[in-house]
């Protein structure tokens, strides 16, 4: 399967600044032969400005979150229909900042997962342990719970309908990347879990790694057999470092 490099722009940049960055990324991609898959996830208010830049191009557009109902009296929330109408193909769900800062539960994330799948948006479900959970030897238990509850009753028809991102909480925005071995071990576990739910389809479900990925760490991460791409925060906020990751993804794809 093709490598995916996905940028999570979090709560950064105005719509105009987001469009400038998208344009810079797109123009850098133009000189990359057989480019890997690339996705950017701007803030909700920047989706339409970025869409006007990326429409019809190879740069895909995603959102950072959505609500678990299709419409109604949910002040401040955003629906899958709104995301689709804004040009999104993907939506990040269960990011650790939403789990830990905004207290989202596995059950809530599961409702969103089901609605995203029904709506033909590709959900990227994020899972990952905190440092104290890792130190207590609980990594596998945490990932098992987050996958089991988060993916309950989710039945993707094709492998491309869904992606998983392993994002150890201790590695997000901290400059500490999981070692390639640490990441691969968890990715293998995730793959096994997916296989127990979805059979051989699971072999082609993308499992991304996220957590302080940068140009120095990406190559060795992408060499691992079960790492199918990266979800990137900090290094996606400027064109030069993000394009370096896209080049690394392209090289891994073509070797």
The verdict on whether 192 is a catalytic residue reads: no
Using rule CB under 6 A, residue 8 touches ligand PEP: yes
Stretch that binds ligand PEP, among 73-81, 149-157, 192-200, 227-235 (CB under 6 A): 227-235
Residue 67, helix vs strand vs coil: coil
Position among 5, 41, 172, 202 found at the interface with ligand PEP (CB under 6 A): 172
Q: Which is nearer to ligand PEP, 212 or 250 (CB)?
A: 212
Stretch that binds ligand PEP, among 14-22, 147-155, 179-187, 230-238 (CB under 6 A): 230-238
By CB under 6 A, how many residues form the interface with ligand PEP? 13
Using rule CB under 6 A, residue 231 touches ligand PEP: yes
Q: Which is nearer to ligand PEP, 66 or 172 (CB)?
A: 172
Using rule CB under 6 A, residue 234 touches ligand PEP: yes
Q: For the purposes of burial, counting CB atoms within 10 Å of the CB of 119, is it exposed (0-12), middle (13-18) or buried (19 or more)?
A: middle
Write down the least CB distance from residue 157 to ligand PEP, Å: 27
Q: Which is nearer to ligand PEP, 92 or 201 (CB)?
A: 92
Q: Which is nearer to ligand PEP, 12 or 57 (CB)?
A: 12
Residue 219 is encoded by which pair of tokens? 């190559």
Write down the least CB distance from residue 126 to ligand PEP, Å: 7
Residue 141 is encoded by which pair of tokens? 């238990």
Alpha-carbon span 171 to 168, nearest angstrom:
5
Alpha-carbon span 76 to 188, nearest angstrom:
38
| Full DSSP string of 195-246 | HHHHGGGGGGSEEEEESS--TTTHHHHHTSTT--EEEESGGGSSHHHHHHHH
- Choosing from 95, 97, 129, 133, which is the catalytic residue? 95
Q: Which is nearer to ligand PEP, 201 or 212 (CB)?
A: 212
Distances (CA, A) of 185 to 164, 176, 189, 195, 231: 15, 17, 6, 15, 18
Using rule CB under 6 A, residue 233 touches ligand PEP: yes
Q: Tokens 């996905």 map to which residue?
A: 6
- Choosing from 104, 129, 133, 167, which is the catalytic residue? 167
Alpha-carbon span 36 to 252, nearest angstrom:
9
The closest alpha carbon to 59, from 92, 94, 24, 84, belongs to: 24
CB 15 within 8 A of CB 46: yes
Write down the least CB distance from residue 56 to ligand PEP, Å: 27
Residue 223 neighbours by CB distance under 10 Å: 12
Interface characters, 202-221, with ligand PEP (x: CB under 6 A):
--------xxxx--------
Q: Which is nearer to ligand PEP, 146 or 201 (CB)?
A: 146
The closest alpha carbon to 6, from 46, 36, 45, 34, belongs to: 36
Which residues are annotated as catalytic? 95, 167
Binding footprint of ligand PEP on the chain (CB under 6 A): 8, 167, 172-173, 210-213, 231-235
């Amino acid at each position: 399967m093709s490598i995916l490099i996905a940028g999570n722009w979090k709560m950064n940049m105005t719509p105009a600044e987001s469009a400038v960055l998208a344009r810079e990324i797109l123009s850098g991609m133009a000189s990359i032969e057989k480019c890997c898959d690339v996705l950017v996830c701007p803030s909700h208010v920047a989706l339409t400005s970025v869409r006007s830049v990326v429409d019809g191009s190879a740069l895909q557009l995603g959102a950072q979150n959505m609500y678990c109902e299709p419409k109604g009296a949910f002040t401040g929330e955003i629906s899958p229909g709104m995301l689709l109408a804004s040009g999104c193909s993907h939506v990040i769900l269960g990011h650790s900042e939403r789990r830990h800062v905004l207290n989202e539960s596995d059950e809530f994330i599961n409702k969103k997962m089901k609605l995203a799948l029904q709506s033909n948006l590709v959900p990227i479900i994020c899972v990952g342990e905190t440092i104290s959970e890792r130190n207590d030897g609980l990594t596998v238990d945490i990932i098992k719970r987050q996958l089991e509850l988060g993916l309950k009753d989710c039945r993707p028809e094709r492998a491309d309908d869904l992606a998983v991102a392993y994002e150890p909480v201790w590695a997000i925005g901290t400059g500490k990347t999981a070692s390639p071995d640490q990441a691969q071990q968890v990715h293998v576990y995730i793959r096994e879990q997916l296989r127990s739910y979805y059979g051989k389809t699971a072999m082609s479900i993308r499992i991304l790694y996220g957590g302080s990925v940068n140009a120095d760490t990406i190559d060795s991460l992408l060499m691992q057999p079960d790492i199918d791409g990266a979800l990137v925060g900090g290094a996606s906020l400027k064109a030069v470092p993000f394009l370096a990751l896209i080049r690394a993804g392209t090289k891994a794809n073509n070797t």
